[in-house]
Amino acid sequence: MRTRITELLGIEHPIFQAAMSWASSNAPLVVAVSNAGGLGVLGAGPLRPDDFEKILVRIQRETRKPFGVNIPLNGARAPELLEIALQKKIPVMVASQGGPREQMPRFRAIGTKWLHVVASVEHAKKAEAAGVDALVVDGAEAGGHPPPSQVGTIVLVRRIVRATRLPVVASGGVADGAGIAALLALGAEAVQLGTRFIATPEASVHDNYKRAVLAAGTVLTRGTPVFDLVKETVIRASPESPLEIPAGAVVVPGARAVTTGWGKELGLSLQTPVIVKYRDERTDLSTALESWLR
């Protein structure tokens, strides 16, 4: 099947493997998808620069097909990751969480195609005005950073297809050929799948998690304000009602609540947003995740 996306990127099938922190932060999954004719996308966000460079070298050694790299532009390591990506002349950038204008020209100069992840009509129009090559549209069903408005993929994709002239990659809630066909019928020119690829041998997640994905029913999907695999609870307090740190909790600054009381004991200001994450007793992934959350 040929679409503007397959023509733009030089891929055989209008199928993207989503960038998923840790699950696709490796070479094997990206290589397997690209060699099969889709677009494998490396999730670079959680990687140290040295590891990122090593993985890129391996990908370029093991496939001659196009592949993508997702870099969150507002991440602390973004400048280093972008420099490495530029030096390695990656074929496709799938950028997210930041504006493309500053970085895009130097990537264009080396022939990189720039796709930008958006989750609203407003951001889609801004990305189009900035000159990106295509859009990856995340609906509410998408993992990672879906729209705060919680507008579903079907509605959002159709609106953005009609609001811009750019080719669209639809993302969120797709797991099989019927879903792909439905989003192509809405006007998307490629479809991005994430969770479906987590269950593959090449995904770098624990086998117990893969089995849980395969066994999950429709009611087990759960959205949270944080992006991890453990239970979370937003703690709110006031100077009149300080809270104690719950036993077994992991406290992470920078989320969407305001705390006092024990927040001061942690050296945080009263205005510092804090979230408390609890271990999920139903999975044995908590031990591995705890080190990432601290």
pLDDT tens, position by position, 53-69: 999 999 999 999 999 99
To which residue do tokens 């050296």 refer? 267
**Is 226 among the domain residues?**
no
Whether 33 and 142 map to the same domain: the answer is yes
Considering the domain architecture, whether residues 252 and 193 belong to the same structural domain is answered as: no
Flag whether 225 is in a domain: no
* Tokens describing residue 97: 């969480």
Domain count, the chain: 2
SS3 250: strand
d(CA 161, CA 173): 18
User: Lowest-pLDDT range, 189-203, 209-223, 248-262?
Assistant: 248-262
**Cα–Cα dist 264/270, whole Å:** 7
Answer whether residue 224 is part of any domain. no
For the chain, how far is it from start to end, CA to CA, in angstroms?
Answer: 45
Point out the domain boundary residue: 190, 219, 248: 219
Task: Provide the pLDDT for residue 143.
Answer: 79
239 vs 224 pLDDT, higher one: 224
CA pair distance 276, 75, nearest whole angstrom: 22
Question: pLDDT tens-digit profile of 165-184?
Answer: 999 999 999 989 999 999 99
Q: How far is residue 119's CA from residue 122's CA, in Å, rounded to a whole number?
A: 9
Indicate if 11 and 58 belong to the same structural domain.
yes
pLDDT at 210: 85
Cα separation of 30 and 38, whole Å? Answer: 9
